[in-house]
Amino acid sequence: MNQLLEFLPLILFFITYKLYDILAATASLVLATLIFYGVRFKVQGYLERNQVITVLGVIVFGGFTLLLRDETVLKWKAPIVNWIFALVFLLSHYLHKDNLSKQMMSHAIDLPDPVWTKVNFSWVGFFIISGLANLYVAFTYHTIWVDFKVFGSLAMTIVFLIFQAIYLSRYIKTSNPQ
């Protein structure tokens, strides 16, 4: 449920874009992001690393989009944020004892270290491809880039998670009650 709530600023962005224009949508995205994550910080007392990256990305790219009145800046947000996530997952493999995938999911599933490495690198690949797809659509299909940013990226993530769940399912041990 918490993951779904994180889409509220993006949904507001999409609705505002359809009703008005990209600048109004960007302003609503920045404002909704500040409010949403501000409340989350007040309640939890912290923000997770990916949430901080998201907030900073929205503020920087949204702010410059509004300041320059140019949607090109905003079109670069999704690719760059995706590539930052790819870099974070990649560096976690080399700089930490446990890579980021293992740090995030080891409480829910027990995997051998080589599998954690594959999972971690699959996230690196996903974020690189997601960034490239966002970049391609934003600068090739100008009329649908907002639709893709909202729904295409979400669909890509869901498909990736389904394939990852299928891959990981072979490592789930079921207890055999007797």
Closest CA to 106 of 121, 114, 117, 116: 116
Who contacts 139 (Cβ-Cβ below 8 Å, separation ≥6)?
75, 145
Q: Give the Cα separation of 2 and 93 in Å (integer).
A: 27
- Single-letter code of the amino acid located at 20: Y
Q: Give the Cα separation of 13 and 111 in Å (integer).
A: 38
pTM (predicted TM-score) = 0.84
Strand blocks (E) in 29-135: none
Q: Report which DSSP code applies to 126.
A: H
Return the structure tokens found at 117.
């490495």
Give residue 3's pLDDT.
65
Is residue 12 a contact partner of residue 31, using CB atoms and an 8 Å limit? no
* Degrees, nearest 5: CA angle 161-45-66: 70
Give residue 98's pLDDT.
86
Give residue 177's pLDDT.
54
Is residue 36 a contact partner of residue 9, using CB atoms and an 8 Å limit? yes
Residues 147-175: pLDDT tens digits?
998 899 989 999 999 999 999 988 877 65
DSSP reduced 3-state for 176: coil
Handedness of CA 168, 170, 173, 175 (dihedral sign): positive
Residues 45-103: pLDDT tens digits?
999 988 998 899 999 999 999 999 999 999 999 999 999 999 999 999 999 888 999 98
Task: Write down the domain spans for the chain.
Answer: 1-68, 76-178
